[in-house]
């Protein structure tokens, strides 16, 4: 129905936004944290570098989402075309394939056989049962994912445009990113129905762990190559 399609589309948009924003937050927080250790006296360089990496990441995420959704639509269309040919040539074979899919899903053989027999060779009924029409749009998915990634990038990068040193900006970056990670965790928890506190803690621990490791790596690169700007 129209309402179900609208609900499915909204959930898909939320999924794309949450995934994109989370990736932008964690990846760029790690990047600017590591760069802060190497370029402690040049926050603008860290900001511009983080922004460049963020734009490249947003394009990559958007293109990846576009290709993924379009490829799935093409696979579904090819499978549907094959089944339509099978319906026309051998309706009984189509019923047998439906029974096999029911068995693969975990239904007992006798139950799968009974359901397949009741459906019979009615093409429209079998088509609805064998295929789930996807209302995902590759352009919309790409825009939501890439745009959300850029939105996530803004939180850890913005303080570096305002601070006098990278170490000062780092505190603001961690604070902004922490708020955004908590927001993303809350959105995931509300959509999936899991523990709000547990998901927020999971997001904060994973994001800050990545940032901490990146900061240590930045110090290592500074020590190895003598970089200090």
Shared domain check, 65 and 94:
no
Q: What is the structure's pLDDT at 115?
A: 67
Give yes or no for residue 218 having a pLDDT over 90.
Answer: no
Give yes or no for residue 34 having a pLDDT over 70.
Answer: yes
Q: Return the minimum-mean-pLDDT range out of 53-57, 67-71, 86-90, 152-156.
A: 86-90
* Residue-averaged pLDDT of the chain: 80
Q: What is the structure's pLDDT at 2?
A: 38
- Under a CB-based contact definition with an 8 Å cutoff, are residues 149 and 43 in contact? no
Q: What is the structure's pLDDT at 8?
A: 54
Q: Name the nearest CA neighbour of 24 among 48, 64, 58.
A: 58
Distance CA 136, CA 69 (A): 7
Please enumerate in sequence order all residues whose Cβ is within 8 A of that of 73, keeping only pairs 6 or more positions apart, or say none: 134, 136, 138
Shared domain check, 58 and 6:
yes
Q: pLDDT-derived band of residue 20, with 50, 70 and 90 as boundaries? A: confident
Shared domain check, 100 and 58:
no
**What is the extent of the structural domain holding 119?**
83-130
78 belongs to a structural domain: no
Shared domain check, 88 and 52:
no
77 belongs to a structural domain: no
Q: Looking at the chain, list the stretches that DSSP marks H as alpha helix, in order from N- to C-terminal side.
A: 2-38, 43-89, 91-104, 109-119, 123-130, 138-162, 166-192, 196-225
Per-residue pLDDT of 85-133, as tens digits, reads 767 777 777 777 777 777 777 777 777 677 667 666 565 655 565 566 5
| pTM > 0.85: yes or no | no
Shared domain check, 212 and 147:
yes
Shared domain check, 103 and 42:
no
44 belongs to a structural domain: yes
Q: What is the structure's pLDDT at 74?
A: 85
Shared domain check, 121 and 212:
no
Shared domain check, 150 and 40:
yes
207 belongs to a structural domain: yes
């Amino acid at each position: 129905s129209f309402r179900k399609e609208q609900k499915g589309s909204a959930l898909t948009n939320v999924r794309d936004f949450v995934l994109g924003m989370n990736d932008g937050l964690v990846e760029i927080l790690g990047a600017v944290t590591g760069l802060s250790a190497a370029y402690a006296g040049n926050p603008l360089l860290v900001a511009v570098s983080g922004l460049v990496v963020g734009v490249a990441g947003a394009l990559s995420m958007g293109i990846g989402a576009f290709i993924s959704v379009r490829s799935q639509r093409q696979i579904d269309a090819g499978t549907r075309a094959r089944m339509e040919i099978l319906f026309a040539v051998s309706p009984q074979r189509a019923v047998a394939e439906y029974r096999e899919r029911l068995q693969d899903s975990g239904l007992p053989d006798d139950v799968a056989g009974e359901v397949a027999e009741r459906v019979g060779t009615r093409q429209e009924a079998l088509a609805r049962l064998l295929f789930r029409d996807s209302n995902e749009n590759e352009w919309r998915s790409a825009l939501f994912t890439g745009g959300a990634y850029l939105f996530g990038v803004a939180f850890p990068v913005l303080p570096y445009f305002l601070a006098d040193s990278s170490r000062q900006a780092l505190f603001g970056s961690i604070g902004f990113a922490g708020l955004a990670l908590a927001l993303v965790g809350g959105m995931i928890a509300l959509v999936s129905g899991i523990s709000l506190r547990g998901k927020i803690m999971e997001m904060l621990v994973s994001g800050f762990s990545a940032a901490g490791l990146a900061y240590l790596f930045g110090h290592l690169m500074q020590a190895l190559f003598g970089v200090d700007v």
